Amino acid sequence: MVPALELSHHRRITAVPLLHPYPTVTPAEARAQFPVFERTAYMNAGSVGPLSRRTFETMQAEEAAALTRGRGTASVWEKASATATAARERVAALIHVPADRVILTTSTTEGCNIVVTGLRLTPDDEVITTDAEHPGLLMPLLASGAHLRKSRVMERPASEALGAVLDEVTPRTKLVALSHVLWLNGHVLPLADIKRETGLPLLVDGAQSVGAIAVDASVADWYTVSGQKWLCGPETTGALYVGDDTTLRPQMQGSAASTFEQGPLRLAMTHLAPPMVAGMLAALEEVPEWGPSRAADMVAKCRAALLEAGVEVRTEPGQGTLVSFRTAGEPADAVKQAEAAGVVIRNLPDGWLRASVGWWNDETDIARLVASLQDGA
């Protein structure tokens, strides 16, 4: 067990189960678990991460068992329950929170909706967010009817993000809701500082952080997790850390509410298919301890290579694992040209391009990215 943590900016949390040892593999061995890299420089985990052979085979095995043995047997339900518990424990260990405060979801969007709707926000309530939020958080906030104040972080250096958030806080502010890592430029917001300085309830969209950078979700009151991005799990998987469930009054409830009258587990909405949960657990078991440091090293090399090639990069050094850059021509055309050259990136709605650089990437991927951009120039 990890000892109980004393955090100056937050409440004391209970001991966290330490489920690792992490897999003892080298970067090259870990990369070899992903067949996509045999032919492709895959750099779009910010949308959907690469799928490992073991994760894929685990899901296939679950589907095959359902096909031949049936999906509704007692043994199936028992195994599915144990798998879901193990997945919650793995997520909890990864983000340093107690497992009994984690529920499984289909996505970060679902997690955001659970919290925002549960808070029963009204037009009289004020919420601080940023001008760089993904629709997965922004749309639930807009649907709530609350008055939104957007911190202008996109036009300021990363070092000024805290000030940008504090500038928007007023006596009416009821909630701060923002991303840990901004999906448009990869900048990391100082969550602990924001929580300490505002003292307000904090909802964090962790879509671009968990599995990419080191995360201590206990700094927040609620923290969402994406399964299919940097954790390389199947789509429609995720989790939600619920530090405070007492202020949430759900407006939607599922079968979990009939089993758990109190606590975070009552908030779970969707039954996740057993093959998906099994795949999520398999992916979580493959996350290496050195992942964040390896990813940071690859990001620095990618950023340097793009700058050396004369590419305009807006992501500052020392941030997250998303590198945002711009080239001449139409962004959508650049994405298609890169794909034709065996490189997978994406374009963003504000006209920039984005490469997602994970612990599984290496120098050959970076070289292929730069070459594809130069060929398309």
- Per-residue pLDDT of 205-214, as tens digits, reads 999 999 999 9
Please give the span between the terminal C-alpha atoms of the chain, in angstroms, as a whole number: 53
How many domains is the chain partitioned into structurally? Answer: 2
- Domain membership of residue 42 (yes or no) is no
| Res 20 pLDDT > 70 | no
pTM to 2 decimal places: 0.93
Question: Does residue 245 share a domain with residue 346?
Answer: no
Question: Does residue 341 share a domain with residue 193?
Answer: no
Nearest Cα to 357, choosing from 342, 346, 371?
346
Confidence of residue 157 (pLDDT cuts 50, 70, 90): very high
The stretch 137-151 carries a mean pLDDT of 98
- Per-residue pLDDT of 347-356, as tens digits, reads 999 999 999 9
| Res 375 pLDDT > 90 | no
Question: Does residue 212 share a domain with residue 114?
Answer: yes
**Of the residues 284, 318, 336, which one is the last residue of a structural domain?**
284
Confidence (pLDDT) at 376? 63
- Domain membership of residue 350 (yes or no) is yes
Q: 82 is written with which tokens? A: 């144990």
- Domain membership of residue 277 (yes or no) is yes
Question: Does residue 315 share a domain with residue 233?
Answer: no
Question: Does residue 105 share a domain with residue 240?
Answer: yes
**Of the residues 217, 252, 284, which one is the last residue of a structural domain?**
284
- Domain membership of residue 7 (yes or no) is no
- Domain membership of residue 9 (yes or no) is no
Which residues pair with residue 242 across a beta bridge?
222
CATH of the domain at 343: 3.90.1150.10
- Domain membership of residue 5 (yes or no) is no
Confidence (pLDDT) at 221? 98
Full domain range(s) for residue 214: 74-284
CATH of the domain at 138: 3.40.640.10
**Of the residues 269, 284, 299, which one is the last residue of a structural domain?**
284
Question: Does residue 262 share a domain with residue 126?
Answer: yes
Question: Does residue 191 share a domain with residue 226?
Answer: yes
- Per-residue pLDDT of 35-91, as tens digits, reads 999 999 999 999 999 999 999 999 999 999 999 999 999 999 999 999 999 999 999
- Per-residue pLDDT of 104-114, as tens digits, reads 999 999 999 99
Question: Does residue 200 share a domain with residue 120?
Answer: yes
Confidence of residue 162 (pLDDT cuts 50, 70, 90): very high
CA count, 13 A, side-chain hemisphere, 154: 14
- Domain membership of residue 66 (yes or no) is no
Confidence (pLDDT) at 3? 39
- Domain membership of residue 255 (yes or no) is yes
| Res 11 pLDDT > 70 | no
Confidence of residue 261 (pLDDT cuts 50, 70, 90): confident
